[in-house]
Structure 1
Amino acid sequence: MVILLLLLGVPRLPSVSFAMHEETILQHTGRIKSTLHPEASAIVFDSDLQRAASDELPFYADIDRAQAIMLERVGLIDRDLTKRVLVELDKLQADGFQSLAACLAPRGSYLAYEDYLRSVIGKEASNLHLGRSRNDINATLLKLKLRAPYQALVAELIKLLRVLCGRARGHLETVFPLHTHRQPALPSTFAHHLTAFGVALARDLDALMALHPLLNVSCLGAGAGGGTTLPILPELTARLLGFVMPPLNSIDSVASRDVVLRLLASCAILGSSLSRIAETLLLWVGESGLASLPDELVGSSSAMPHKRNPFLLEQVQGKAGATIGCFVAAVTGMHSTPFTNCVAVGTEATRHVWPGIDNSIGAVRLIRLCFAGLTVCEEAASAMLENSFVNAMETATRLAVDGGLDFRSAHNEVGRLVTRAVESGVPSLSAMMQDGRILNYETSLAPDVIARRARAGGGPAPDTVATALDELEKGIERGAALLRELAVGWSRAREELRSAIASIEEPTVQRTGGGERSAL
């Protein structure tokens, strides 16, 4: 290798290793005559292609399959080269790209990958690059790579929503205190709370599902940002890769990574919802004892034998916070950059999407497990309802509607009753209701009666909650159906790509006067 460098007149950096595939073509661009400085390379590129073998190379291979088929169809490369490219890509795929993974990537994974193909196919393999650039390749690769984690996140959120709806259906009549400012405030039901969580999370599902059109626009064909004068078929490569549309504007295609920002923003808002729900569950399973988690969903203390720590809910909060950090890092990285292909956008800012999605998936999955295992302590809930004046607002309302008082006077009167009850150590408002006007409502002021009758405004009445669950479940199933449609579309594209490859591999048939003959 040293001799090759000297023959080519390439200056040799003292500490650079060029231990690549023995036939790999040196990355000599004609303008740049040496590899990247080793210290810089160590920062911006992986030292070898081992990680890229699973992360990027399979997507490069699919992009090249579609590109080769398209270029052959428009006559920019011949069928023989197309076949050789497809054969080598299949070989690489079969061995998990390990024959390439050992190579160094002094100027990034794509050029190392292209050099490898040139070394095993011939220099004409670089004609695959006609009508494209690393810019549109990497923008396309990002969208292909996002598909699996995007599907996983949406599927996890749908699972969580189904658990919430199923558990709510089983607790329509389970009376449960509603807290404000961390104090018991009003009568409610357990189902009312679970449905509230579900309604909020369903909006997060809608936000995630709204991103799928962005994922379904291809960037391939935009080139370096100026499109191309060649007669390529971007709509064909888009279809073969499972995209619904080819690029609409070449500059936007390579400049924009807002799909990352929108996805991380949705994840951040989802994380905020999950963190608040987790905090509410921590309140329930904490000192109030309104609910409990099974042994397999709590942790012990290394020092305190009595502890049953609901630490998974704290994990949810931590992962949700980390996702917000990923969004802030990504949007800050893209801020005030030129609207063209830009490493700060396409590489540095975009890298935050992967931990962001991973944290979101983990947080959703953990809280789903907690909800699935959560047990309501109905006795504790009933005791809190009886001993915390949660019927005070209904009492004031009844005095205002039927008792001849205006609401503020009724509010003050009930406030005085509560004060007397607290000062005398009487545990509940009902024991202090000596006024005849209040005694008339004693039965209707029971917390469970209030909860059953509170229908208006989306209250906890069982029939109202059941109606809300009906609507919620319809929305969940719409999301699930759309997710299935996406998966079917992407799967159908893989089949079309395989079919196109098979047609390339078939013998060419030429028509003659006497019929047909095979021309290899």
Structure 2
Amino acid sequence: MLRLIAQMPQLTSSETREDRMLHDTGRIKLTLDPEASAIVFDPDLRRAVSGEVPFYAEIDRAQAIMLERVGLIERGFIKKVIVELDRLQAEDFQSLAAVPSPRGSYLAYEDYLRSVIGKEASNLHLGRSRNDINATVLKLKLRKPYQELVGELLELLQVLCGLARAHLATTFPLHTHRQAALPSTLAHHLVAFAEAFSRDLDALLAVHPLLNQSCLGAGAGGGTTLPILPELTAKLLGFASSPVNSIDSVASRDLVLRLLAGSAVLGSNLSRVAETLLLWLGDAELASLPDELVGSSSAMPHKRNPFLLELVQGKSGAVVGSLVAAITGMHSTPFTNCAAVGTEAARHVEAGIDNVTRSVRIMKLCFSRLTVDQDAARAMLDRSFVNAMELATLLTVTTGLDFRSAHNEVGRSVTTAIEHGTSSLVAIMPIGGISDPEVSLSPDVIAKTARAGGGSAPETVTAALAELEDDVQRSNSILRELVAGWARAGKELQSAIDSLG
């Protein structure tokens, strides 16, 4: 008796057993338990009308055109469907907002269409399942975030390249272990940042063929015996290709993992560049940001806090959390449609992309308005013995002294110079065999003549810049073509609808 009571479905105070029996599927007599439904589904479609529902409608337009073309539904019915979908879209789907959603947004949306158009509205479901619909909706939803992320990253690269060209001859200290270490140039640093971000861009662009493959037609995972045309629905929705394997189409969400992995690596690079900027903006005051990109202290009147760069570090770190949550949610699940994968793991992708996109935007703002203090950079170079390695190298190649001995001798000279309150090694150390050591050991000369190994010499940096700019142009073309394809598909779908008469 106790066991039977425990198994009885619990009803809410506002819900009768008759209410729940209205959703009889034939096999399942009652709707999902209200407590479970509250955990899994929204109670109505208020949130879905700005999320999934517009994509359900777009898919239904393409599905209706395809099903009519293969003779599975009649043209007159399609017209009724299109009229209702157009009406819903015109009002931003608000008629659906309060519709109950006891078994998820798609079935609630379908029930609404059946109530308005007629029961035959469910015939739109021929040759498909929620499995392939949800997989397709995910890709449609990711188009805008993907476009924004790649577009923002391209703009950041353009800012960095433009700033680098303006500072090819700006001598600037290269730090190691947060200490001035070697002479370099500002352009040398900026191109280094851009090289890393360019690789991140390549990783993100490598995902676009997967993003651009439709899942519609894979059904529940077994495809269908109906003579449908998945390649037509793919074309009308702006996808470059249709499903290749029906199981893979509904089982896989590695698109999510690849986007989050690329975003996490990008976030790591953003955080490191942000830390480098914070070093430049710190006590050394090698650079500054304008008032509109810094914050004040509520207590300390003198402060100008570059807090935006700290936000970059926090937001870019959050992307790693999104990746870990997604990949853990998918780990060791069956290779078929699975709620743990398609719902729980995939839900983290939009937040992850949003965080890294915001981080890229902040970095773009900071670099586009960064002011470099060349006097401060010069002062740091002059006082920090950044020419010590060059002196040890010159001693080795001109006097026959082995490098380690030369290294130690120069190190002792640095100690002596500090004790004597000077930053000039030439004044402390007798240097034979080197013509005009004052010139040879000048930070400007070292920075301008370091050609090998991708060094700071202007011609070396310029060559790297040219390659970067070519890559940016190619990547821009890929993104423009991708977005143009999506736009063309929208026009083709509308043309197919108009041809119905």
Equivalent residue letter for 2:163: R
Equivalent residue letter for 2:276: T
Equivalent position of 1:15 in the other structure: 13
Equivalent position of 1:234 in the other structure: 230
Equivalent position of 1:98 in the other structure: 94
More displaced 10-residue stretch of structure 1: 427-436 or 110-119: 427-436
Q: What TM-score, normalized to structure 2? A: 0.96
* Structure 1 residues 12 and 178: alpha-carbon distance in aligned structure 2, compared to 1, 3 A threshold: closer
Q: What is the CA–CA distance in structure 2 between the aligned matches of 1:97 and 1:12, rounded to whole Å? A: 32
Alignment of 1:115-514 (within 5 A): 115-437=111-433, 440-504=436-500, 506=501
Equivalent position of 1:107 in the other structure: 103
Contact 1:395 1:438 in 2 (8 A): no
* Structure 1 residues 204 and 11: alpha-carbon distance in aligned structure 2, compared to 1, 3 A threshold: closer
Contact 1:251 1:340 in 2 (8 A): yes
Q: What is the CA–CA distance in structure 1 between the aligned matches of 2:426 and 2:157, rounded to whole Å? A: 38
CA-based RMSD: 1.6
Query: CA offsets per residue over residues 175-201 of structure 1, 9 Å max, x none?
Result: 000001111110000010001000110
Equivalent position of 1:512 in the other structure: none
* Structure 1 residues 280 and 12: alpha-carbon distance in aligned structure 2, compared to 1, 3 A threshold: closer
Query: CA offsets per residue over residues 60-102 of structure 1, 9 Å max, x none?
Result: 0010001011111111111111111111111111110000111
Q: What is the CA–CA distance in structure 2 between the aligned matches of 1:202 and 1:160, rounded to whole Å? A: 10
Equivalent residue letter for 2:226: L
Equivalent residue letter for 1:107: R
Query: CA offsets per residue over residues 338-382 of structure 1, 9 Å max, x none?
Result: 000000000000000011011011000001101111111111100
Secondary structure of 1:443's match? helix
Give 1:440 shift. Answer: 4.1
Q: What is the CA–CA distance in structure 1 between the aligned matches of 2:260 and 2:84, rounded to whole Å? A: 37
Equivalent residue letter for 1:461: A
* Structure 1 residues 275 and 466: alpha-carbon distance in aligned structure 2, compared to 1, 3 A threshold: same
Contact 2:295 2:305 in 1 (8 A): yes
Query: CA offsets per residue over residues 300-325 of structure 1, 9 Å max, x none?
Result: 00011111000000000000000111
Q: What is the CA–CA distance in structure 2 between the aligned matches of 1:104 and 1:430, rounded to whole Å? A: 83
Equivalent residue letter for 1:352: H
Secondary structure of 2:439's match? coil
* Structure 1 residues 260 and 11: alpha-carbon distance in aligned structure 2, compared to 1, 3 A threshold: closer
Consecutive unaligned residues in structure 1, runs of 5 or more: 1-9, 507-520
More displaced 10-residue stretch of structure 1: 112-121 or 80-89: 80-89
Give 1:54 shift. Answer: 1.1
Query: Is 1:88 equivalent to 2:61 in the alignment?
Result: no
Query: Is 1:61 equivalent to 2:34 in the alignment?
Result: no
Q: Percent identity?
A: 72
Equivalent residue letter for 2:98: A
Contact 2:131 2:219 in 1 (8 A): yes
Secondary structure of 2:437's match? coil
* Structure 1 residues 11 and 404: alpha-carbon distance in aligned structure 2, compared to 1, 3 A threshold: closer
Equivalent residue letter for 1:462: P
* Structure 1 residues 432 and 16: alpha-carbon distance in aligned structure 2, compared to 1, 3 A threshold: farther
Query: CA offsets per residue over residues 7-64 of structure 1, 9 Å max, x none?
Result: xxx988233559xxx9x99432011111212211111111221111111111000100
Contact 1:11 1:33 in 2 (8 A): no
Secondary structure of 1:442's match? helix
Contact 1:25 1:115 in 2 (8 A): no
Moved over 6 A (4+): none
Give 1:112 shift. Answer: 0.3
Contact 1:25 1:118 in 2 (8 A): no
Q: What is the CA–CA distance in structure 1 between the aligned matches of 2:215 and 2:414, rounded to whole Å? A: 66
Q: What is the CA–CA distance in structure 1 between the aligned matches of 2:450 and 2:431, rounded to whole Å? A: 24
Contact 1:25 1:119 in 2 (8 A): no
Give 1:277 shift. Answer: 0.1
Q: What is the CA–CA distance in structure 1 between the aligned matches of 2:91 and 2:79, rounded to whole Å? A: 19
